[in-house]
Amino acid sequence: MKILNVVGARPNFMKIAPLMAEYSRRDNIHAILVHTGQHYDDTMSHLFFEELGIPKPDINLGVGSCSHAVQTAEIMKRFEPVLIGHKPDVVVVVGDVNSTIACGLVATKLGIKLAHVEAGLRSFDRSMPEEINRILTDIISDLLFCTEQAGVDNLLAEGVASEKIHLVGHVMIDTLLSHLKRSWQSTIVEDLWRQYCLDGDGFAVLTLHRPSNVDDPVVFSRILDALNIIQKDLPILFPAHPRTRKSISSLGLQAKVERLTNLHLMEPVGYLDFLKLQATAKIVLTDSGGIQEETTILKVPCITLRENTERPVTVSLGSNQVVGTDTEKIIAAYRKITSGKFKEPQVPPLWDGHAAERIVSILEEKLGVC
């Protein structure tokens, strides 16, 4: 069976890694990897291939950054001849980025089976570009692999046939569990401690990259006002996404950020380093999708700086609180956690490190290869 897999942006790499490893364990699978080039900086792409042992992509479409329409269209234009040339039995797309919908659409128009990993998640907020990508990818997919029960329920409510839907757990958590031990060898905490001359007995980790937060000067300023209070208690380590760095300067927020002398802005870090940072942080503040899930497994309190989440199990069972971007609400959530009011999180069902095995077995069964 020929399986063509698509990656494009940072969170895709953690999701594809265990699938590529699982294919290589099965004799009858020929796996092809296509990188769209949506992310291209070493720290946003190349680094993860080395760290996670992902094979070098067979094809890199080299699309780069542009507007949504141009990026999506360019990926489609460049992906179509690849699919026509390779004629895979199935295309596997992961997550909810522009590369996901662009390649999914090309596959379905060519009559090639499409499998979506991380299907069914819904924030019910259509101003999020990812929500549009999720809904559209799910509508055209033949096989939908869900990470949590809410995903299954959302798909059923949208009329997707139940035989297409499979609750399998989470490939991103497969990657976390298989790399956690190695991440303990990372010296990033000691290195940053020395580099920034930190003291005290803990730190917070921050990531921000959602356009609704970092492209809007009012919202970004509200978040910075809360961070100003928090950094008086705890150093905040902030590996900043390139979008966010650009916004800080284009929105004229450089001086405001620099006044927060205990907020330490740095380049994005590698996966093992970031895992070590998350696992040893007192608290994580984020607007990332994946980090809400990783902190749940690591049992680290997570404050989500968004009004909603498409990953509700991280709140119902995990360590996540969806707090929004109001300054006072962020500070109140922080104080509640530091005063010890933090419920013991539980591991969501099937987040056990075996999601990729389940997915590949279902692909084999459904596509007729035993």
Among residues 207, 247, 304, 314, the one that binds ligand UDP under rule CB under 6 A = 207
Q: Check binding of 129 to ligand UD1 (CB under 6 A).
A: yes
Which three-class secondary structure state does DSSP give residue 102? helix
Q: Nearest Cα to 40, choosing from 290, 242, 176? A: 242
Could you give the CA distance from residue 188 to residue 269 in angstroms, rounded to a whole number?
Answer: 9
Considering the complex, state which of residue 118 and residue 357 has its C-beta at the smaller distance from ligand UD1: 118
Q: Check binding of 104 to ligand UD1 (CB under 6 A).
A: no
What part of residues 64-83 is at the interface with ligand UD1 (CB under 6 A)?
65
Residue 172 CB neighbour total at 10 angstroms: 27
Contact 142, 166 (CB under 8 A): no
Among residues 246, 335, 341, 343, the one that binds ligand UD1 under rule CB under 6 A = 246
What part of residues 234-293 is at the interface with ligand UDP (CB under 6 A)?
239, 268-269, 271, 274, 288-291
What part of residues 259-298 is at the interface with ligand UD1 (CB under 6 A)?
none
Q: Tell me the window of 8-16, 297-305, 322-330, 362-370 that interacts with ligand UDP (CB under 6 A).
A: 8-16
Could you give the CA distance from residue 173 to residue 169 in angstroms, rounded to a whole number?
Answer: 8
Q: What is the 3-state secondary structure (H, E, C) of 45-66?
A: CHHHHHHHCCCCCCEECCCCCC
What is the token pair recorded at 217? 């000067």
Q: Check binding of 38 to ligand UD1 (CB under 6 A).
A: yes
Could you tell me the sign of the dihedral formed by the alpha carbons of 224, 132, 158, 354, in that order?
negative
The strand order across the sheet containing 283-286 reads: 263-266, 236-239, 204-207, 283-286, 302-304, 320-322
Smallest separation, CB 65 to ligand UDP (Å): 14
Q: Check binding of 39 to ligand UD1 (CB under 6 A).
A: yes
87 Rama class: left (phi>0) / alpha (psi -120 to 50) / beta? left
DSSP label at residue 217: H
Among residues 179, 242, 280, 362, the one that binds ligand UD1 under rule CB under 6 A = 242
Query: Which phi and psi angles does 6 have, rounded to 5°?
Result: -120, 135
Query: Taking the CA atoms of the chain, what radius of gyration do you get in angstroms?
Result: 20
DSSP label at residue 185: T
Could you give the CA distance from residue 60 to residue 78 in angstroms, rounded to a whole number?
Answer: 10
Q: Check binding of 41 to ligand UD1 (CB under 6 A).
A: yes
Q: Tell me the window of 96-104, 112-120, 230-238, 254-262 that interacts with ligand UD1 (CB under 6 A).
A: 96-104
Smallest separation, CB 312 to ligand UDP (Å): 16
Among residues 9, 172, 206, 322, the one that binds ligand UD1 under rule CB under 6 A = 9
Which three-class secondary structure state does DSSP give residue 76? helix
Contact 105, 16 (CB under 8 A): no
Could you give the CA distance from residue 297 to residue 348 in angstroms, rounded to a whole number?
Answer: 8
Q: Check binding of 44 to ligand UD1 (CB under 6 A).
A: yes
Q: Which amino acid is at 123?
A: S
Smallest separation, CB 175 to ligand UDP (Å): 7
Among residues 26, 243, 256, 336, the one that binds ligand UD1 under rule CB under 6 A = 243
Q: Tell me the window of 9-17, 133-141, 343-351, 356-364 that interacts with ligand UDP (CB under 6 A).
A: 9-17
Considering the complex, state which of residue 47 and residue 160 has its C-beta at the smaller distance from ligand UDP: 47
Q: Which residues are catalytically annotated?
A: 209
Among residues 3, 4, 7, 11, the one that binds ligand UD1 under rule CB under 6 A = 11
What part of residues 306-365 is at the interface with ligand UD1 (CB under 6 A)?
none
Q: Helix 271-280 crosses helix 290-298 at what angle (to 10 degrees)?
A: 50
Q: Tell me the window of 160-168, 196-204, 235-243, 357-365 that interacts with ligand UD1 (CB under 6 A).
A: 235-243
Smallest separation, CB 15 to ligand UDP (Å): 9
User: Strand 90-94 to strand 59-60: parallel, antiparallel, or no bridges (unpaired)?
Assistant: unpaired
Considering the complex, state which of residue 23 and residue 48 has its C-beta at the smaller distance from ligand UD1: 48
Interface residues with ligand UDP (CB under 6 A) are 10-11, 14, 207, 239, 268-269, 271, 274, 288-291, 294
Residues that bind ligand UD1 (CB under 6 A): 9-11, 38-41, 44, 65, 96-98, 129-130, 209, 241-243, 246
